């Protein structure tokens, strides 16, 4: 049985809080998920969170934030 780490917000809560943008910086994504920036960066480095780059900025797609809020994160 796999352990699942659930973030502290529900999908409906995060969907209502998300401004109408397609991508979010790491800091905003972490705040919306109710986790620390360092936890989100760790999960990105482990390949558990999809991101895209715009120049030097690392951005998280809206759909990925909604997925994380709905499904949680498999424990590593």
Domains and CATH numbers, the chain: 4-74 (1.10.10)
Q: Tens digit of pLDDT for each residue in 47-74?
A: 999 999 999 999 999 999 989 988 876 6
Q: State the DSSP string of 29-68.
A: HHHHHTS-HHHHHHHHHTT-S--EEETTEEEEEHHHHHHH
pLDDT of residue 1: 44
Q: What pLDDT is recorded for position 20?
A: 74
Average pLDDT, the chain: 81
pLDDT of residue 29: 93
């Amino acid at each position: 049985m796999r352990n699942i780490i659930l973030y502290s917000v529900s999908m409906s809560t995060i969907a209502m809080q998300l401004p109408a943008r397609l991508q979010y910086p790491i800091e905003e994504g972490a705040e919306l998920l109710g986790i620390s920036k360092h936890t989100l960066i760790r999960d990105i480095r482990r390949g558990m969170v999809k991101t895209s780059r715009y120049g030097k900025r690392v951005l998280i797609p809206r759909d990925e934030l909604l997925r994380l809020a709905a499904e949680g994160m498999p424990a590593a």
